[in-house]
């Protein structure tokens, strides 16, 4: 058993505040998002270029890419929900009835996705999953979808991936998608505020990010204050660590610079990095390495990697990272954990807007509409799936487990529990070459926590009960 965490959640937050630079006093009023200026968040599935490729069903729910071997040169391998469930031990929980029933996963994305309900229905029908209770909340001012707007199209890829794969991990959980009116920082903040103020769910998934220093300081403070409120309500916060290795696009999008990603770098958020998973056709786990493959826009060599990670220049090391090798006192280290993110070894999802945008079908009535899916990669895939794991733990605990980073690192400090609950990813890095002559320095994966894959990927059948029983 984990040691008792002792103090109440409020005391733990006060303890956390002592090590932070941006925790606001209790009297601070969160400014209305519309009054703040800021940049634009990038969906992790699009960060550094699209991380997806089409895949066609060959029979029933079988796709040809499911039979390939990782790095075999025959095109990217892909995984169904059942393969991922088996590889990470989720199937053992589902078999016992731990499906997330009675819990709610909130997903925040930008813009409208007019085909997302059709996407979910086809995903469920293809892979034999139950239809979820699925609600969509459009924030006021959300524009009508325009297929000629590439930014809107990119966000439909994100939202389709997010809702389907949160559901794949927690098929009994309710899904609420909150669509911000744009991907500008104030609008994403407003959507997240709506989710928190209205207490829409138990866990919030955020598959987007930008360089920490590109966020307006007023927005960052308002966001952190919001995350403090969410944590006090027992809401778990999860975010992708980014898809450009140890780099982020510069604030004007003209180049790259070494940076941790916001919101994943906030100490109240569980940041999720990326790996390449090797599993067989039945989902039997083989191995993992830090994310890097030819189809993801990085290179399958020892010199490059995709998984976002590094050290915050805004937040100091939080209490739960004390004693973790490789994390300096002055910096919050990210990511905290990891999940499969490669396009080679990517997950299958239906994306109707993408089929039309790329001219693969004429519309939902096209006979091929239900046959062509996409293989998705990116840390975008990890955030909703970790949110699904939280929903499973919430159901098991019969309550919200809330903030989980302290428990995750407590497990990391126990050699027996760590080996039973995590796959420790020890190979690869997140160095990012951006030209023949310029490289963004990164970090190496290694034993225990690292700034590429965090503590590693879950052995859910062990980790989820530990999360449930420690709260």
pLDDT tens-digit map of 240-272: 999 999 999 999 988 999 999 999 999 999 999
Per-residue pLDDT tens over the stretch 365-376:
999 999 999 999
Put residue 398 in one of left, alpha, beta given phi > 0 → left and psi -120 to 50 → alpha.
Answer: left
430 C-beta neighbours (distance < 10 Å), count: 34
pLDDT confidence band for 13 (50 / 70 / 90): very low
Question: Residue 7's pLDDT is what?
Answer: 36
| Average pLDDT for the chain | 89
In a domain, 20, yes or no: no
With 50 as the cut, is the pLDDT of residue 29 above it?
no
Q: What is the mean pLDDT of residues 126-155?
A: 96
DSSP characters over 3-32: PP--S-HHHHHHHHHHT-S-PPPTTPPPPP
Q: With contact defined as beta carbons under 8 Å apart, do 373 and 55 qualify?
A: yes
Tell me the percentage of the chain whose pLDDT exceeds 90: 78
Query: Angle at the Cα of 361 (from 357 to 365), degrees rounded to 5?
Result: 120
Residue with tokens 């899904």: 175
Using CB atoms within 10 Å of the CB of residue 366, give its burial: 0 to 12 exposed, 13 to 18 middle, 19+ buried: middle
Taking the C-alpha atoms of 329, 242, 43 and 262 in order, what is their torsion angle to the nearest 10 degrees? 10
Provide the greatest CA pair distance for the chain.
Answer: 60
Alpha carbon distance 80, 282 (integer Å): 10
**Is residue 305 a part of any domain in this protein?**
yes
Query: Which 8-state DSSP code applies to residue 81?
Result: H
Residue 33 has a pLDDT of 31
Residue 281, SS3 per DSSP: coil
The predicted pLDDT at position 16 comes to 40
pTM of the model: 0.91
Alpha carbons 196 and 236: distance in angstroms, whole number = 11
Domain enclosing residue 106, as ranges: 44-469
Tell me, yes or no, whether 164 lies in a domain. yes
Phi, psi for 93 (deg, rounded to 5): -75, -45
The pLDDT, as a whole number, for residue 297 is 78
Inside any domain, residue 296: yes
pLDDT over 70, % of the chain: 88
Q: How confident is the model at residue 49 (pLDDT cuts 50, 70, 90)?
A: low
**Per-residue pLDDT averaged across 142-167, rounded?**
96
pLDDT at 48 over 70: no
What was the pLDDT predicted at 46? 55
**Domain contains 15:** no
Q: Are 13 and 176 in contact (CB under 8 A)?
A: no
pLDDT of 348: 97
Closest CA to 49 of 235, 218, 245: 245
Give the per-residue pLDDT at 438. 86
Tokens 């510069």 appear where?
A: 250
* Count of domains for the chain: 1
Is 60 exceeded by the pLDDT of residue 1?
no
Judged against a pLDDT cut of 80, whether residue 417 lies above it is answered with yes
When pLDDT is averaged across residues 301-305 and rounded to a whole number, the result is 72
| Three-state secondary-structure class, residue 35 | helix
Has residue 11 got a pLDDT over 80?
no
Residue 239 has pLDDT above 90, yes or no: yes
Domain CATH number, residue 393: 3.40.50.200
Which pLDDT score is estimated for 41? Answer: 67
Cα gap 415→255, rounded to integer Å? 41
Q: Is residue 36 part of a domain?
A: no
Per-residue pLDDT reduced to its tens digit, 67-100:
888 877 788 999 999 999 999 999 999 999 999 9
Q: Domain for residue 292, yes or no?
A: yes
Give, rounded to a whole angstrom, the gap between the first and last alpha carbons of the chain: 12
Reported as a single tens digit per residue, the pLDDT across 332-348 is: 999 999 999 999 999 99
User: For residues 63 and 78, what is the distance between their CA atoms, to the nearest angstrom?
Assistant: 8
The reply to whether 433 falls in a domain is: yes
């Amino acid at each position: 058993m984990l040691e008792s965490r002792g103090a109440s959640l409020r005391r733990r937050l006060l303890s956390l505040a002592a090590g932070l630079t941006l925790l606001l006093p209790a009297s601070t009023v969160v400014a209305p998002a519309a009054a703040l200026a800021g940049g634009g968040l990038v969906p992790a599935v699009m960060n550094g270029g699209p991380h997806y490729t089409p895949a066609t069903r060959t029979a029933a729910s079988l796709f040809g890419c499911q039979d390939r071997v990782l790095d075999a040169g025959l095109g990217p391998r892909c995984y169904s929900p059942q393969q991922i469930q088996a590889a990470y031990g989720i199937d053992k929980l589902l078999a016992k009835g731990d499906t997330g029933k009675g819990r709610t996963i909130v997903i925040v994305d930008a813009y409208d996705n007019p085909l997302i309900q059709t996407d979910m229905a086809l995903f469920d029908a293809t892979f034999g999953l139950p239809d979820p209770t699925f609600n969509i909340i459009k924030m006021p001012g959300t524009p009508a979808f325009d297929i000629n707007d590439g930014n809107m199209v990119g966000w439909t890829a994100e939202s389709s991936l997010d809702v389907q794969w949160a559901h794949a991990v927690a098929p009994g959980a309710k899904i609420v998608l909150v669509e911000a009116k744009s991907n500008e920082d104030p609008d994403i903040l407003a959507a997240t505020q709506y989710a928190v103020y209205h207490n829409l769910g138990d866990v919030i998934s955020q598959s987007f990010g930008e360089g920490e220093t590109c966020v307006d300081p007023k927005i960052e403070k308002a966001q952190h204050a919001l995350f403090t409120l969410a944590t006090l309500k027992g809401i778990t916060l999860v975010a992708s660590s980014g898809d450009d290795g140890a780099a982020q696009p510069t604030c004007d999008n003209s180049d790259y610079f070494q940076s941790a990603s916001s919101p994943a770098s906030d100490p109240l958020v569980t940041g999720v990095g990326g790996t390449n998973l090797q599993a067989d056709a039945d989902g039997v786990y083989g191995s993992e390495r830090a994310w890097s493959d030819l189809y993801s826009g990085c290179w399958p060599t020892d010199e490059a990697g995709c998984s976002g990670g590094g050290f915050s220049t805004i937040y100091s090391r939080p209490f739960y990272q004390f004693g973790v090798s490789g994390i300096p006192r002055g910096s919050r280290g990210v990511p905290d954990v990891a999940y499969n993110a490669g396009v080679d070894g990517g997950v299958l999802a239906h994306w109707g807007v993408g089929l039309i945008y790329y001219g693969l079908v004429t519309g939902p009535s096209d006979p091929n509409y239900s046959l062509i899916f996409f293989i998705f990669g990116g840390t975008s895939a990890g955030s909703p799936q970790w949110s699904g794991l939280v929903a499973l733990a919430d159901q098991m605990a019969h309550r919200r487990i809330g903030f989980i980073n302290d428990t995750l690192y407590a497990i990391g400090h126990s050699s027996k529990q760590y080996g039973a609950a995590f796959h420790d990813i020890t190979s690869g890095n997140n160095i990012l070459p951006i030209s023949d002559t310029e490289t963004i320095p990164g970090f190496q994966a290694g034993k225990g926590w690292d700034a590429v894959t965090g503590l590693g990927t879950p052995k859910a059948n062990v980790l989820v009960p530990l999360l449930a029983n420690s709260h």
